[in-house]
Amino acid sequence: MKIKLKHIKDIAVLNIEGRININSSKLIETVGKLLEEGTSKIVIDMKDINFIDYNGLSVLAISYKNALKNKCAMKLCGISLHVQELFRIVKLDDIFEIYNNLDEALEDFTHKAAVNKRKVLEQPWRRRFMRLALDMPIVYRLIKGPRQKPEGGLYSGRMANLSGAGLFMRSMELLPLGSEVLLEIIFKKGQDPKQFQGIVIWLADKELQPELYPGMGVVFTGLSSYAQETVIEYIEKHVAASKC
Q: How many domains does the chain have?
A: 2
Under a CB-based contact definition with an 8 Å cutoff, are residues 23 and 42 in contact? no
Which residue in 112, 120, 116 sits closest to 96, CA to CA? Answer: 120
95: domain CATH number is: 3.30.750.24
| 207 lies in the same domain as 189 | yes
Residues 100 and 173 in one domain: no
pLDDT of residue 151: 72
State the Cα–Cα distance between residues 5 and 146, nearest whole angstrom: 38
Q: Is residue 83 located within the same domain as residue 151?
A: no
Would you mind telling me the total number of residues written for the chain in this entry?
244
Closest CA to 77 of 43, 111, 110, 128: 43
CA-CA distance, 37 to 193, in Å (whole number)? 55
195-199: long-range contacts at Cβ-Cβ below 8 A with a sequence spacing of 24 or more? 196/220, 196/223, 196/227, 197/143, 197/221, 197/222, 197/223, 198/166, 198/167, 199/54
- DSSP-derived 3-state class of residue 90: helix
Res 147: pLDDT: 63
Whether residue 113 is found in the same domain as residue 20 = yes
Residue 87 to residue 82: CA distance in whole angstroms: 9
Q: Which of 83, 101, 122 delimits the end of a domain? A: 122
Question: Do 132 and 118 fall within a single domain?
Answer: no
Judge if 239 and 150 occupy the same domain. yes
Looking at the structure, do residues 70 and 136 belong to the same domain, yes or no? no
| Closest to 31 measured CA to CA, from 54, 55, 13, 9 | 13
- Same domain? For 154 and 72 the reply is no
Q: Mean pLDDT of successive 10-residue segments in the chain (244 residues)?
A: 95 96 94 98 96 94 97 95 90 92 91 54 60 94 79 89 95 94 90 93 96 96 90 89 69
7 lies in the same domain as 106: yes
Residues 53 and 69 in one domain: yes
**CATH number for the domain that contains residue 139:** 2.40.10.220
Is 110 found in the same domain as 29?
Answer: yes
Condensed to tens digits (0 to 9), the pLDDT of residues 129-149 reads: 788 999 999 999 999 987 667
By residue range, what is the domain housing residue 146? Answer: 127-243
Q: How far apart are CA 190 and CA 84, in angstroms?
A: 35
Question: Residues 86-102: pLDDT tens digits?
Answer: 999 999 999 999 999 99
Q: What is the pLDDT of residue 34?
A: 98
Co-location of 70 and 178 in the same domain: no
Residue ending a domain, choose from 81, 106, 122: 122
Nearest to 6 by CA among 38, 24, 30: 30
